[in-house]
Structure 1
Amino acid sequence: MARKTIPLTNTEIKAAKAKEKDYKLFDGEGLFLLIAKTGGKRWRLKYRFNNKEKVIALGTYPTISLKEARTKKDEYKNMIANNIDPSEKRKQSKEENKIQEIQKLNTFYKISQEWLESYKYEVTERYLNKLERSLELYVYSFIKDRPIEQIKRLEIIDILKDLKNRELLETAKRVYMLLNKIFMYAVTMEYAPHNIIADIDQNTIIGRVEKKHYPTFIKEKDIKGLLLAIDDYSGDYTTKMALKILPYIFVRSYNIRHMEWIEIDFNKKEWTIPANKMKTKTEFILPLPNQVITLLEEIKQFSGDEQYVFPSFRHNDRPMSDNTLVSALRRMGYTKDEFVPHSFRSMFSTIAYENANHEAGHKFTSEVIEALLAHKEKNKIKDAYNRASYKEGMRELIQWYANWLNNLKKDSKKEN
């Protein structure tokens, strides 16, 4: 006949003292209290699962009272009756808790910053700063510290609706695209199981956004006025020279401001813009018309010992600031709705296309025009071929355009 275990009492447990070796006080149904030789008292439950004897810890006494230990025992016995191993269940729960803790650390801010770090090799530093600025202005206030896996579609929709309500439709579209890239990265790196941005129809939330074109001048009288205004500009010398060169080469503002002397080849009359400064992330060799070479030779006497052709007037080791050219155009009387630095590109494109295959114009095709604008051809093989085959055409066309601009100013002087 099996020996019946007499249940423990609180008095018995309190009176139990440490001995030379660990020993056990049994309560019945597998529950016992282990009295360690160091004096500690630990609750344990011995049970069988799949014909294997196992022991699971229930906690220490007096943190876990006798009553609480018996309640835990009953819970585990019930789990065993339902074919659930308490030890495996606890192990699984610990693993789930560990995963949840990791997920809490994987906030949107952390993952977005990680993505920015990986993306910096694909875009210019200026563009990367622009993306980070967008996150700070329009996104972080909503979901910065939220675990990325827990972010819901409605939270993203709130961000987009906020921009729409502020009539920042183009910004909303860009933020949507930015968030999509970040969530794609999160899925790729297994920070999130699904890209929730892909489930949001931006047209439904934002509405269709009409593409905004940069303002520019296409009438000869307006272009004449602009060129003469630049010649008469009375502000900083470096700024004036940058404005005088920009109409002839019509590059992006970032490129003209970050132009370095080491990139200029006076013998070949070329400017090699490194890939890391190009929006296309491809090195670009721009032929320079004679007018620009003359201007650069003049400027070299002023900043030839510096790194940048157009250094900041505050710090010679830094390029001209982003706002310098814009401010100069405003001082000349041109509003942002009339003309911006990027407008020189649109101006060239319009004039070049209007004068293509024209008796008094030029003979060059759209491919040459687009090549001068450094627009990337989607077909990589064709793109490489274009850069090689259109080199001479690019040189002739940019010289034609420079002459065209000069003739406008000459005609204007005759009229006066």
Structure 2
Amino acid sequence: MTLSDTSIRKAKPGAKPVKLFDGGGLYVLLTPTGSRLWRMKYRFGGKEKLLAFGAYPAVSLKGARELRDDARRELVKGNDPGEIRRARKAAARMQDGSTFEVVAREWFELMRGKWEAEYADLILHRLERDMFSSLGRRPIAEITPLELLTALRRIERRGAIDTAHRSLQKCGQIFRYAVVTGRVSHDPTTDLREALKPAPKQHYPSITDPKEVGALMRAIRGYAGGFETKCALLIGILTFVRPGELRKAEWSEFDFDHAEWRISASRMKIKELHIVPLSKQSLAVLKELYSVTGHGRYVFPSVRTSARPMSENTVNAALRRLGYTSEQMTGHGFRSTASTLFNEQGWPADAIERQLSHGERDEVRGAYNFAEYLPLRRKMMQAWADYIEALECNATTIRSRFR
């Protein structure tokens, strides 16, 4: 006799499990606790086997019969329905572990140790905001170039062209990671390199007229804000390192005896040890500052706690306080100022690029020797400090002093 919904509901549990048969091997296992579990027994290869279809009423009588019929059709074909179900579940688990978001987070965890914490946070934020919302749950092997382009063009439409290009670059790294881990066979981002709007060249406002540089130096000397901030402005223009390298400077990186600032590879954009020769003027500023912050880790600590470095907005805010707008001068602009004037004065381009810690341009030579051009750079950095000091004093013979 076949089952009905009424007979299943009215069946009373006993002290031992009871089987309520429906036909074709399908039955309800009524447990002493009152659970009603769908089971199907069948024979394959001379052995009795069992399938579980879930619990009643979550799986209805009709649904259980459909599952039984599907299993019996596989038996007719000579297939073991239990093995087929296990293979499908394994495929589903593999697919769940190979979505774009899962693979991207794996790649991120692998890479984050190579990045500054703030940069890692930015990368993850961009992925979560721009890519996971549309592609996160998609199996990475099924994502097409068109799907990826659609996500990137949403970034473009809000005007973030540079971010779109950076997102494409990071997606390329994620897909290449997926290739080597066996999730995909190729990287679809290679088809999209010409599909985005050209990224605008990044321009950092800077002052390059010598007279205006002199005025800037005088303004910095007269800065009435915090002493540490004033020193950051001075060291910024004297060494023209990147703002992040400046504000996170640690006293352990400085060697006063050898007049060097050695910034570790982990803190550099190009991930390579960078030596900054220190001029006499830089040493004078640093030694004075050491009496104020030398007891702590950071050269330029946060105003709130010495356990953290100066805020990323501090130098730019100080320049605004001095009357310079964001269209006139920024902390990063110190690099453009130095680069422009060095080149105008005829210093060797290779030495300038090395002191700016720009990436290697010569593929034949390979990676930099971190001490490349160091004797010349020592001379160059002292000449630079003397030059801007002369500009500050309104000197009239500054050109000869710089060279």
TM-score range, shorter chain: 0.7 to 0.9
Greater mean alpha carbon deviation, residues 37-46 or residues 265-274: 37-46
The alignment partner of 1:131 has SS state of helix
Q: 1:380 to 1:283 in 2, by over 3 A?
A: farther
Q: TM-score, normalised by structure 2?
A: 0.79
Task: Kindly indicate whether the alpha-carbon contact (under 8 Å) linking 2:263 and 2:273 is maintained by their aligned counterparts in 1.
Answer: yes
Q: What is the aligned counterpart of 1:244 among 220, 223, 234?
A: 234
CA-CA distance at 1:153 after TM superposition: 4.5
CA RMSD, aligned part only?
A: 4.2
The alignment partner of 1:121 has SS state of helix
Task: Give 1:180's aligned residue.
Answer: 172
Task: Kindly indicate whether the alpha-carbon contact (under 8 Å) linking 2:223 and 2:322 is maintained by their aligned counterparts in 1.
Answer: yes
Task: Kindly indicate whether the alpha-carbon contact (under 8 Å) linking 2:168 and 2:189 is maintained by their aligned counterparts in 1.
Answer: no
Task: Kindly indicate whether the alpha-carbon contact (under 8 Å) linking 1:45 and 1:58 is maintained by their aligned counterparts in 2.
Answer: no
The alignment partner of 2:275 has SS state of strand
Alignment partners' CA distance in 1, 2:231 and 2:394: 22
Alignment partners' CA distance in 2, 1:219 and 1:66: 85
- Which digits, 9 at most, give the CA deviation of each residue in 1:132-159, with x for residues without a partner? 343355445x237524536555543333
Q: What is the aligned counterpart of 2:114 among 118, 122, 135?
A: 122
- Which digits, 9 at most, give the CA deviation of each residue in 1:351-372, with x for residues without a partner? 111212xxxxxxx522221221
Unaligned runs of 5+ in 2: 398-403
Task: Give 2:123's aligned residue.
Answer: 131
The alignment status of 1:318 with 2:308, answered yes or no, reads yes
Task: Give 2:181's aligned residue.
Answer: 189
Task: Kindly indicate whether the alpha-carbon contact (under 8 Å) linking 2:26 and 2:68 is maintained by their aligned counterparts in 1.
Answer: no
Task: Give 2:277's aligned residue.
Answer: 287
What one-letter code is carried by the residue in structure 2 that aligns with 1:188? V
Q: What is the aligned counterpart of 1:393 among 376, 386, 391?
A: 376
CA-CA distance at 1:187 after TM superposition: 3.7
Task: Kindly indicate whether the alpha-carbon contact (under 8 Å) linking 1:273 and 1:283 is maintained by their aligned counterparts in 2.
Answer: yes
Q: TM-score, normalised by structure 1?
A: 0.77
The alignment status of 1:84 with 2:79, answered yes or no, reads yes
Alignment partners' CA distance in 1, 2:48 and 2:309: 72
CA-CA distance at 1:68 after TM superposition: 8.4
Identity level (%): 31
Task: Give 1:164's aligned residue.
Answer: 156
Aligned pairs (5 A) from 1:49-128: 52=46, 55-57=49-51, 75-102=70-97, 106=99, 108=101, 110-128=102-120
- Which digits, 9 at most, give the CA deviation of each residue in 1:3-26, with x for residues without a partner? xxxxx5669x99xxx9xx999999
Task: Give 2:248's aligned residue.
Answer: 258
Q: 1:334 to 1:197 in 2, by over 3 A?
A: farther
Task: Give 2:360's aligned residue.
Answer: 377
Alignment partners' CA distance in 1, 2:29 and 2:305: 75
Task: Kindly indicate whether the alpha-carbon contact (under 8 Å) linking 1:180 and 1:195 is maintained by their aligned counterparts in 2.
Answer: no
CA-CA distance at 1:102 after TM superposition: 4.3
What one-letter code is carried by the residue in structure 2 that aligns with 1:123? W
Count of residue pairs brought into register by the alignment: 391
The alignment status of 1:276 with 2:270, answered yes or no, reads no
What one-letter code is carried by the residue in structure 1 that aligns with 2:375? E
Task: Give 1:411's aligned residue.
Answer: 394
The alignment status of 1:198 with 2:217, answered yes or no, reads no
Q: 1:384 to 1:37 in 2, by over 3 A?
A: closer
Alignment partners' CA distance in 2, 1:138 and 1:66: 44
What one-letter code is carried by the residue in structure 2 that aligns with 1:254? G
Unaligned runs of 5+ in 1: 1-7, 357-363
CA-CA distance at 1:290 after TM superposition: 0.8
CA-CA distance at 1:81 after TM superposition: 3.7
CA-CA distance at 1:174 after TM superposition: 1.4
Task: Kindly indicate whether the alpha-carbon contact (under 8 Å) linking 1:34 and 1:42 is maintained by their aligned counterparts in 2.
Answer: yes
Alignment partners' CA distance in 1, 2:17 and 2:120: 64
- Which digits, 9 at most, give the CA deviation of each residue in 1:86-124, with x for residues without a partner? 343233233334434545xx561x543433322123333
CA-CA distance at 1:277 after TM superposition: 1.2
Aligned pairs (5 A) from 1:333-348: 333-348=323-338
The alignment partner of 1:268 has SS state of coil
Task: Kindly indicate whether the alpha-carbon contact (under 8 Å) linking 1:258 and 1:320 is maintained by their aligned counterparts in 2.
Answer: yes
The alignment partner of 2:389 has SS state of helix
Greater mean alpha carbon deviation, residues 78-87 or residues 53-62: 53-62
What one-letter code is carried by the residue in structure 2 that aligns with 1:89? I
Alignment partners' CA distance in 1, 2:329 and 2:243: 13
What one-letter code is carried by the residue in structure 2 that aligns with 1:92? A
CA-CA distance at 1:349 after TM superposition: 1.3
The alignment partner of 2:194 has SS state of helix
Q: 1:67 to 1:118 in 2, by over 3 A?
A: closer
The alignment status of 1:300 with 2:290, answered yes or no, reads yes
